[in-house]
């Protein structure tokens, strides 16, 4: 039986909009395929060695206050996280977590929270601009994905950074350039809460497949699952947004 270990970074502080649903989705989709899953919760002060054994990484969103606390702990773990991501270990980083992977996050009052600089992007927030809130649809190479966004920060990608997709409806990275999220190696950064994975199972499977490939050093083809319920959930929101999937 194959096995993967999911490292859930800072669940106590970074889990604002039902991000636990992403962990449930990943775990269930493994279980249904008889892949053994272990989830390790990595809270502030966790031992770096615990990160070593992770095959898939996940971190959810938070408010600025929590982000400040987490950033101090996260910066200590930068080297090991960088090594993992560079090696192709898949990761999903939502909203505040996505911002952390970039160079910096500037809060509305001008305070700078240093990021890890793994993703080529920066984020700035300002009191003069509205928060970017609502349902969002994004066109990716693998099809349209749907979620919910709620962020004050505007993210700008570096020239060579690859966005996750193009905004069909909603705001995405900054509400201006039509990009949403970023994909680097096998890691995804995105503003899509929802949670994203139950409604977009192809992303969950991408992460699981890559985790197995990197761990077992062989191509992995996942057993197909019946996603009719997941697709239904997605089409309800798509309809509300007048979008054809
Ligand atoms: N604090 C960040 C912002 O508002 C992230 C919000 C979130 O993670 N939902 O931009």
Strand locations in the chain, DSSP E?
Answer: 3-9, 36-42, 56-59, 91-94, 104-106, 112-114, 121-124, 132-140, 143-151, 154-157, 165-169, 179-180, 182-184, 187-190
Confidence of residue 134 (pLDDT cuts 50, 70, 90): very high
172 or 194, greater pLDDT? 172
Asked whether the predicted pLDDT for residue 27 surpasses 90, the reply is yes
| Ligand 1 surroundings by CB, under 6 angstroms | 16, 61-64, 67, 95-96, 125, 150-153
Asked whether the predicted pLDDT for residue 191 surpasses 90, the reply is yes
| Mean pLDDT, range 11-35, rounded to an integer | 95
Question: pLDDT tens, 50-88?
Answer: 999 999 999 999 988 898 899 999 999 999 999 999 999
Query: What rounded mean pLDDT belongs to the chain?
Result: 95
Query: pLDDT value at position 63?
Result: 87
Please list the active-site residues.
95, 193
Asked whether the predicted pLDDT for residue 142 surpasses 90, the reply is no
Atom number in ligand 1 closest to CA 67: 1
Those residues whose C-beta lies under 8 Å from the C-beta of residue 106, and which sit 6 or more positions away, are: 112, 113, 122, 123, 124, 125
Q: Is 135 within 8 Å of 237 (Cβ atoms)? A: yes
Cα three-residue angle 196-229-34, rounded to 5 degrees: 80
Query: pLDDT value at position 224?
Result: 97
| Mean pLDDT, range 87-100, rounded to an integer | 97
3-class secondary structure, 216:
helix
Query: pLDDT value at position 11?
Result: 96
Query: pLDDT value at position 14?
Result: 94
Write down the pTM of the prediction: 0.96
Question: pLDDT tens, 173-189?
Answer: 999 999 999 999 999 99
Question: pLDDT tens, 97-120?
Answer: 999 999 999 999 999 999 999 999
Distance 94 CA to ligand 1 centre (A): 9
Residue 43: burial class (beta carbons within 10 Å; 0-12, 13-18, 19+): middle
- 3-240 is classed CATH 3.40.640.10: no
């Amino acid at each position: 039986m194959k096995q993967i270990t999911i490292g859930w970074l800072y669940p106590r502080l970074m889990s604002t909009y039902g991000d636990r649903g992403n962990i449930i989705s990943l775990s269930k989709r493994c279980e249904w395929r008889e892949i053994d899953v272990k989830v390790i919760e990595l809270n502030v002060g966790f031992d770096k060695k615990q990160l070593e054994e992770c095959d898939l990484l996940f971190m959810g969103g938070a408010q600025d206050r929590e982000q400040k606390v987490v950033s101090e702990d996260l910066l200590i773990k930068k080297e090991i996280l960088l090594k993992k991501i560079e090696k192709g270990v898949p990761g999903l980083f939502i909203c505040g977590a996505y911002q952390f992977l970039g160079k910096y996050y500037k809060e509305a009052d001008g305070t700078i929270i240093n990021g890890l600089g793994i993703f080529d992007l920066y984020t700035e927030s300002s009191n003069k601009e509205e928060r970017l809130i609502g349902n969002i649809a994004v066109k990716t190479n693998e099809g349209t994905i749907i979620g919910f966004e709620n962020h004050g920060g505007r993210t700008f990608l570096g020239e060579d950074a690859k966005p996750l997709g193009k905004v069909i409806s909603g705001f995405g990275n900054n509400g201006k350039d039509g990009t949403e999220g970023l994909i680097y190696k096998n890691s995804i950064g995105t503003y899509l809460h929802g949670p994203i994975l139950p409604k977009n199972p192809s992303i969950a499977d991408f992460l699981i497949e890559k985790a197995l490939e990197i761990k077992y050093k062989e191509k992995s083809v996942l057993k197909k699952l019946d996603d009719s319920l997941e697709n239904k959930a997605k089409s309800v929101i798509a309809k509300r947004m007048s979008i054809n999937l």
